[in-house]
Structures are given as C-alpha cells and as structure tokens.
Chains A and B, each alone.
Chain A
Amino acid sequence: MDVKFNMVQKTKHFFEEIGDLSFFAARFFKQAVNPPFEFKELLRQCYQVGNRSLLLVMTTGFIIGLVLTLQTRPTLIEFGAVSWMPNMVGISIVREVGPVITALICSGKIASGFGAELGSMKVTEQIDAMEVSGTNPFKYLVVTRILAATLMLPLLVIFGDLIALYGSSLVEFFKGNVSFRLYFNKVFEALSFGDLIPATIKSFFFGFVIGLTGCYKGYKTGRGTAGVGIAANTAVVMASLLLFVVDFVAVFVSDIFYEL
C-alpha cells in the first residue's frame, strides 16, 4: 500500500517536474525574444561557458580520440581494414562521440555551475534584489546563460572533434605510419555535410538542454544552503539524462531525413 502510494507520488512528481521544466523553457523563449537584451552579460556568460570549458573539453576530446583509435586498431587489423581507421573514427567522432562526450562533460561543468550559481543567488536573495533593482533576473541570469550554453556548445564540440581527431591521428602516425595529411584527407573524404550539419544542430540542442536544466534547477532552488547542493547535483543528473533523450530524438529525426 505504502509502496504503491510512493510510486504514484513519484510518477506525479516526475510529470510535475517535466511540466515545470516546459513552462520554464516557454518562459525562456518568451523572454529571449522580448527586449531589453542583456548583451554584456551574454558576452560574459559566453566567456564563462566557452573559454572556461575549452581546456576540459579539449583534454577529454584528445583522450577519447586516442582511446577510440587504440581500441579499434586490433579489430580493424584483424579485418585488414586498418586503412579505414580515419574514415571510421572521423565519422563516429563527428557524428556522435564528439557531441555527446562534449555535452556530457559540459553538463558536468556548466549545468552544475549554473545550478550552484543561481541556487546560491536565489538563497541569498540576490535574485530578489535584482528584481527590486528593476532588472528582470530571468532575462539577466537565465536567458543569458541558456543562450550562452546554446551558442557555445557547438563551438566546443568543434574544438573537441578536432582535438579528438588529432589524438586519433597521433596514434595512426606512430603506430600505423599514416601521415597527418593523409589522415585528415581521409577523414574529410569520409565526411559529408550529412554528418556535420545534423551533429552541429544537435549540439545546439545539447547546449540548450544543459543551460535550461542548469538554470531551471538553480532558479527553483529551495531554501538554505543544502538546496544549492541539491540544485547543482540534480542539474547534472537531469541534464545528462535529457541529453541522451535529445540525442535519441536527434538521431531518430536525422535518420528520417537521411531516408528522404
């Protein structure tokens, strides 16, 4: 009986959360298109999101490229298809691995950052203070952050992709004696706009999801410093989860377009 009740509560809570998040997203769109626009703050946030995540994204990208190539090499050698390495790694990184890994890393850094920052601002009444000061805190804090994440993530993904390919080409250079020029030639031979464009569009959505959940969790933080921790934590969990949902939908949709 109690378990059943608990389940019902949880389900209710789940849909409540989704509804809440949707309202939050709708509010974002409404506020984002109406002036005034906080350009200066947007730039600051872009810097925070973009430049400050670059090193992290590049490090993980490099390692992913390295590992992906090292792990695939024996199998490809077995099939006598090791010369296909650049094509395979190139497509998998540009299409899927690059955007998803970058987005996951960023959800760890950016979403939690947003959650904690906005959460502490909420708890210490800084958000109220802003509103009293005649600045729409939603515009100033939320819209700029979501926009910054949405705009910066595709760029981060591109950097991540490049570094991952570089890592992969290093392995091929030292283990397979493949020159960088040949490697990248093959990569770009394998790639088409059908790989790059959906991945880039996907990255925008990833950025949006990261920004949205981070801000949502931060903005709705409950009272007390404990609420800030919870906000940061749940922001990461929710963002990561939503990323995969978005990824699934994106792959599904782009697949349909491929068919056309």
Chain B
Amino acid sequence: MKEAMASEEIVIKIENLCKRFGNNEVLKGFNMVLKKGENLVVMGKSGSGKSVMIKCLVGLIGPDSGIIEVLGKEIDQLDQMELDELRSDIGFLFQGSALYDSMTVRENLEFPMRRHRKKFEGTTDTLPLVREALENVGLAHTMDLMPAELSGGMKRRVALARAIILKPKLILYDEPTSGLDPITAKEIIELMRSIQKKYGTSALIITHDVDCARVISERMILLVEGVNYAEGTYEELIRSQDPKVNAFFKK
C-alpha cells in the first residue's frame, strides 16, 4: 500500500543543510528526502530548527551551506522571478495562521492570486476559486468577515484554504495544530488528509504534536541537535530503544 502511494519522484531533497544565527548553530548538516505523494512529518523540540528548515525550503531564510532542491529546482540558484514561480507551487500553512489582519477572508484568499495569475490564465473572476477553497475547509459563509472575527480554529482553516488556493503540488505545514484544542486539532488533521486525497499533493509537516504525527505521517524524521537523528514510520520509532527517540513519545 505504502509503496504504491510513494512514487520514486523526489519532491524535496535536502543535503547537509547548515544554518547558524550568531553563535547558535541551529542546523548542523540536516538531510531529508520527500517523495511525491508522501506525508512526511519532521518532529523536534522547540528551537530545534524545524521552522528554520521549512523556511529554507521556500527561500525565506538562506542557508549557510547545503543543497536544497524543491520540485527539481535548487533554491539557491533561482532568481526572484523563478523563486516566486516555484513558490506558487508550494502551499504554506503558517504556525499562527498568519492571516492578514487588515483584509477580509476573501481578500486573504485572493492575495496569493495577485502575483500568480499566470496559473489562472483566463480566469478574471476569482470568486469561484475562493468559494471552492473555502468550501474545502467548510467556511464558505465567512467570506466577508475579518480575521479578528474568527476563532482560532476557523483562522487555521482559512489559512489552510489560502495555502491550497493555488492548487500547489506541495504543502508545507508549520505546526498545523499548535495552539488549538485537541478536537479542533483533529478537525484540522482531517482536513489536511482530505485535501491531500483530493488534490494528490505531497506534504511536509513539522510538529511536536505526537498525536498529529501519528495520524498523518507515513514516514517521520526526528530532528535532534540539528541533524536528522532518526527516521522511520511511527510504529518503528515508537518501538525504538534510543532514549532520545523515546523522549518524544513519552506522555
């Protein structure tokens, strides 16, 4: 079953990624591969460099050294135009939803389309796309509300809708369930799964939420002290004898 889903086409390849902030060496040679259609969870403690790693993937942070290839393109080698074009194929769900406070939900969703119109050649009316994305997360009625009027869970769902509005090939989730109650978190995870099923996207999820990882992951990487410390399925890792690995799964 698993073999059937994960093809051999590589979506993300990270080799020997290093990044330091001042004297703080965050990533010390991180390696990772994400195959097409795969759900990969990267787990790590707070401050272990997960967020840094995922931001390197979309060029928000430049690495000190190492090679990052996303959708077959080496991030370092791209100019701004190419990078933007690549970004339109990547959905990004931010940790705190990161909805634009000054815009309505609809404007929030339309925002990514401003520059990536190429993808929607011929479509002048963005409304159906917005509606479709919002329907996917079950929030079509919130279109004209401001983010401040939404609850935390709704915000996260709107943010998810925004991440998928460009129909990306790859979605990056930065702590998709952080700050949410377990029930809402479960809803979000369900949504993530249904979206993946619907659009056949690959997903990279970083989290420290074990429940989330268990439900969604097909493969997991544990990020400890700046390197990929352990790798495997949830079942494999939970049975590991390594104390550092065990520390993740202790309740």
Known contacts A132-B87, A134-B84; A125/B94 CB under 8 A: yes
Q: B92 contacts which chain A residues (CB < 8 A)?
A: 129, 132
Q: B112 contacts which chain A residues (CB < 8 A)?
A: 133-135
Within 8 A of B (CB), among A107-121: 117, 120-121
Which residue of B has the minimal Cβ distance to A38? B114
Instruction: Flag B69-104 by CB within 8 Å of A: 1 or 0 each.
Output: 000000000001000100110101011111111100
Query: With A and B bound together, what is the CA distance between A131 and B114 in angstroms?
Result: 12
Number of interface residues of B (CB under 8 A): 23
Within 8 A of A (CB), among B40-78: 55, 58, 60
Q: By the criterion CB–CB under 8 Å, are A121 and B101 in contact?
A: yes
Q: A133 contacts which chain B residues (CB < 8 A)?
A: 87, 111-112, 114-116
Q: By the criterion CB–CB under 8 Å, are B111 and A135 in contact?
A: yes
State how many angstroms separate the Cβ of A27 from the closest Cβ of chain B.
14
Residue A124, interface by CB 8 Å: yes
Q: Say which residue of A124, A132, A136 sits within 8 Å of B90 (CB atoms).
A: A132
Query: With A and B bound together, what is the CA distance between A125 and B98 in angstroms?
Result: 5
Q: By the criterion CB–CB under 8 Å, are A124 and B87 in contact?
A: no
Query: With A and B bound together, what is the CA distance between A130 and B115 in angstroms?
Result: 11
Query: With A and B bound together, what is the CA distance between A126 and B99 in angstroms?
Result: 6
Q: By the criterion CB–CB under 8 Å, are B87 and A134 in contact?
A: yes
Known contacts A120-B101, A133-B111; A128/B60 CB under 8 A: yes
Query: With A and B bound together, what is the CA distance between A15 and B87 in angstroms?
Result: 36
Number of interface residues of A (CB under 8 A): 16
Once A and B bind, how many residue pairs between them come within 8 Å at the CB atom? Answer: 52
B interface SS class: loop
Instruction: Flag A199-230 by CB within 8 Å of B: 1 or 0 each.
Output: 00000000000000000000000000000000
Known contacts A131-B60, A134-B84, A134-B87; A124/B114 CB under 8 A: no
Which residue of A has the minimal Cβ distance to B86? A134
Q: By the criterion CB–CB under 8 Å, are A124 and B96 in contact?
A: yes
Which residue of B has the minimal Cβ distance to A44? B102
Q: B114 contacts which chain A residues (CB < 8 A)?
A: 133-135
Q: By the criterion CB–CB under 8 Å, are B115 and A135 in contact?
A: yes
Q: Say which residue of A125, A131, A134, A136 sits within 8 Å of B88 (CB atoms).
A: A134
Q: B95 contacts which chain A residues (CB < 8 A)?
A: 125
Q: By the criterion CB–CB under 8 Å, are A129 and B115 in contact?
A: no
Q: B88 contacts which chain A residues (CB < 8 A)?
A: 134
State how many angstroms separate the Cβ of B110 from the closest Cβ of chain A.
10
Q: Say which residue of B55, B60, B98, B115 sits within 8 Å of A124 (CB atoms).
A: B98
Q: Say which residue of B60, B96, B100 sits within 8 Å of A132 (CB atoms).
A: B60
Q: A134 contacts which chain B residues (CB < 8 A)?
A: 84, 87-88, 112, 114-116
Give me 15 A-to-B residue pairs in the complex whose CB atoms sit less than 8 angstroms apart, sorted by A's number. Answer: A121-B101, A124-B98, A125-B94, A125-B95, A125-B98, A126-B98, A126-B99, A128-B60, A131-B87, A132-B87, A133-B111, A134-B84, A134-B87, A134-B116, A136-B80
Q: Could you tell me which A residues sit within 8 Å of B by CB distance?
A: 36, 117, 120-121, 124-126, 128-136
Instruction: Give me 12 other A-B pairs in contact (C-beta within 8 A), A132-B58, A136-B80 excluded.
Output: A117-B102, A124-B94, A125-B96, A128-B94, A129-B92, A130-B100, A132-B60, A133-B112, A133-B114, A134-B87, A134-B114, A134-B115
> Which 5 pairs of residues, A with B, have the shortest CB-CB distance?
A134-B115, A133-B112, A129-B98, A125-B98, A134-B84
